[in-house]
Structure 1
Amino acid sequence: MLVFYEERLAFLAVPKTGSTAYHTALRDRADLVVTDPPDLKHAPVRRYDRFFQNIFRKMYDTEMEIMAVVREPVDWLGSWYRFRGRQERLDHPHSTHDLSFDDFIQAYMRTPRPEFADVGSQSQFFRTRNNGRGATHVFKYENQDKILDFLQNRLNMDIRLQRENVSPTRDLTLGAETLTKFRNTHSAEFNCHASAL
């Protein structure tokens, strides 16, 4: 999470949407940088509003606009699958090393989810509190030029991004039946992505 006080902007870090590269590029420019623990770095809208936004409301009588990035749902889960399939995760309960991508998506659709597939939900990340505000600026991950233009204009600076936290390449073949079921059972994820800029 990055907060730019003068610009009244909070950049929330949706997991697996390139947030580490933005953190590295902007941490010296931000007024508040949260990198650990992960539950705070990746604080969803509800948690941000309840704790961080409340500080700005109560102490400074102001609110930050919220920006975040959302990724196409199959691509987002593909990133998690690749990330959890790294060699160093082999004996970890989160490992996806011996699974196909189709198996991973099938596991993600189960209730409850197995530990290796319990990676959260982008649509839930953007859920607001009853009396809270939602994200003001939500960008699609694939539109990096729009994200950069917005941030460069808002922060009045040039931004140089470097690739970070890149997961290994893996086969992301998904059966038609699995994809159809995923689209039907998790339509909120696709709606969340479709409504972004």
Structure 2
Amino acid sequence: MLISISRRFVFVANSKAASTSIEKSLSRHADVVYQGSPDRKHINLENARVEFESLFSEVGFHRFFKFGVMRDPVSWILSWFRYRKRRNNPNALPGKMTFDAFWERKDWNFIRTDGTKRLQRDFFVSSDGKLLADYIIPYHELEPHYRKVCKALGVSARLPRVNVSQPGVTEAQLSGDTLSQLREFYTEDYELFNRLDSINANMR
């Protein structure tokens, strides 16, 4: 996560959604760079508003431009699967595990310890359902939207390619049953993802 007081922006780092690349690109403009452990780096907007209440209270949370990146939910979990299949990953999955077996396992990539779903929307929406982000970049159109955001922020920044996903299983390789189950599981994420055009049309 990045917070810039001078440029008045908050970048919320959704996982597996170019967060490292954007942080590398924009960190020189930030006054707060929240990196390190996943829980620290991938803090959502609701928790960031509470944790940095004193900072936001000076000018108002609503006056900061709050943005992040969201992937198609199936693409997002497939990226997680490919990442966790890497041998050097401390949370690596068994080498021969298929995606179907990963889905059936329902580990922390899908379900939190409190039993709630792990969703991308939680980075951008409050616990009572209020949208907190001003702009959510669709991952599949990352570069043109990122250029638009940088122009709105008044910064010139290139987007490096960092932590690029390795080749592996794709949506086309999933069984129809697994795909339909995933889309049902991520209903709330798809409801937000399908609204990105209308949300982003409101950029000031």
- Per mean C-alpha deviation after superposition, the further-off stretch among 163-172 and 173-182 is 163-172
Per the TM alignment, residue 177 of structure 1 is displaced from its structure 2 partner at its CA by: 0.8
What are the Cα deviations for residues 109-142 of structure 1, in whole angstroms up to 9, with x where unaligned?
xxxx324655831123333145976111112111
Q: Does 1:97 align with 2:90?
A: no
* Paired position in structure 2 for 1:114: 107
* 1:121-164, Cα deviation, whole Å (9 max, x unpaired): 11233331459761111121111134322332123232212211
Greater displacement, 29-38 / 126-135: 126-135
The 5 Å alignment of 1:178-197 reads: 178-197=178-197
User: Cα gap change, 1:84/1:181 in structure 2, threshold over 3 Å: closer, same or farther?
Assistant: same
- Match of 2:166, SS state, is coil
1:49 to partner: Cα distance: 1.9
> Any unmatched runs of 5+ in structure 2?
113-117, 198-204
Q: Is the Cα contact below 8 Å between 1:21 and 1:163 reproduced in 2?
A: yes
Counterpart-to-counterpart distance in 2, 1:118 and 1:13: 19
String of CA shifts for 1:49-77, please: whole Å, max 9, x gaps: 2212x12343x142223111110011101
Instruction: Provide the rounded CA distance (Å) in 2 between the counterparts of 1:67 and 1:106.
Output: 33
Percent identity at matched positions? 24
Q: Is the CA contact 1:69–1:140 (under 8 Å) kept in the aligned structure 2? A: yes
Q: Deviations over 1:9-61 (max 9, x none)?
A: 10100000001011111111222211123212110122112212x12343x14
Q: TM-score, normalised by structure 1?
A: 0.83
User: Amino acid of the residue matched to residue 151 of structure 1?
Assistant: V
Change (3 A) 1:186 1:157: closer
Deviations 1:78-124 (A, max 9, x none): 110011000113xx5542532112322333xxxxx324655831123
In 2, the alpha carbon distance for the partners of 1:103 and 1:115 equals: 14
Residue correspondence of structure 1 range 23-62 to structure 2 within 5 A = 23-52=23-52, 54-58=53-57, 60-62=58-60
Of 164, 167, 182 in structure 2, the residue corresponding to residue 166 of structure 1 is 164
Structure 1: where are the runs of 5+ without partners? 108-112
CA distance in 2, matches of 1:133, 1:49: 13
1:67-106 aligned at under 5 Å gives the runs: 67-89=67-89, 92-106=90-104
- SS state at 1:88 partner: coil
Give the counterpart letter for 1:163 in structure 2: R
Distance of 2:68 and 2:2 partners within structure 1: 10
Secondary structure of the 1:68 match is strand
Say whether the 8 Å CA contact 2:14–2:123 is kept in structure 1: yes
TM-score normalised by the chain length of structure 2: 0.81
Q: Distance in 1 between matches of 2:109 and 2:152?
A: 38
- SS of corresponding position for 1:142: helix
Matched residue count: 188
Secondary structure of 1:158's partner?
Answer: coil
